[in-house]
Amino acid sequence: MNGLQLISTGSALPRRSVSNAELAQMVDTDDAWITSRTGIQQRYFCSEGESAVSLAIAAASEALRNAQLTPQEVDCCICATVSGDFATPSVACMVQAALGLREDIPVLDVNAACTGFLYAASVARGLLCGNGGRYALVIGCEQLSRILDMTDRTTCILFGDGAGAGVLESTPTSLYADLLGARGSQAICAAGPGSQPSHIQMEGRAVFRFAVEAIPRCIEGILAKTGLTLDDIDWVVCHQANERIIDHCIKKLSAPAEKFYKNMSRYGNTSAASIPLALDGLRQSGQLRPGMRLLCVGFGGGLTWAGTLLTWKGDSHETA
């Protein structure tokens, strides 16, 4: 079964940036409290005319441009989200229509919360291998601001909106591995469609304990599968939920902190968009080189966890 390599990324953010100081005008908190406990300094919220779908379309368009691919070359489109505009049609279907992807390819959404992008990549790999395709468009997008309780300072300070996308290529040559699982818990939950408003609820301590267990487990599991060590990994890209979680895991693993990318200070926790936004941040900042190994790690709602090793091939114009 072929592996996957990442050949391009893209991202999209809402127009409105919301600082900790602005949140402090809505709920009993302050910048020092938020920053010291999470590392988050700002996040983005959708304004009128913006949504999970519009962000997904923009991020996917950029990823295709950077890969120098046409919509007709995409062999499947998988979108990870917990906050799509509709129960149906899926965000992926709306991206398909907006970008003019072919009609004879699978398009679907995946709900695995903050691990969603990595789950979606694994689904895409299976579809490409099963159907004989080459390129997958994988998206993580969220409009979490629509389901935040702005009176609950334990959750409303954490989350933001955004989208990230990647074009993945099926290849027999790139080193690839994934590790997926779940514990089946409501430690993070949001109600589905119904008569009552849906708000994110979270048992913070339980999630912290799970995260600091899951991240090392995923990293060590991927290294064991591939026979690599952390010295062989160029970047560890964790779900960007809380700076203290990542720092705790770095210490637990006795790992070099400079390998662990962080951007939650600017975006907050964007759930399924978190990892692709981080990957695109690495690309935009010029910190990716062809052949780099990226160990991505997710943890989140349902107490899902995921680890994925990808190789960065680079945008077509970069490697030409």
Task: Write out the catalytic residue numbers.
Answer: 114, 239, 269
Cα separations in angstroms, 298 against 89, 120, 125, 241, 293? 26, 12, 18, 10, 16
Query: Three-state DSSP class for 210?
Result: helix
Give the amino acid at 216: P
CA atoms within 13 A on the CB side of 140: 29
Distance of alpha carbon 249 from alpha carbon 200, whole angstroms: 25
Q: Cβ(101)–Cβ(139) under 8 Å?
A: no
| Distance between CA atoms of residues 225 and 101, nearest Å | 35
- The closest of 115, 159, 86 to 301, measured between CA atoms, is 115
β-pairing, 162-171 vs 293-300, is unpaired
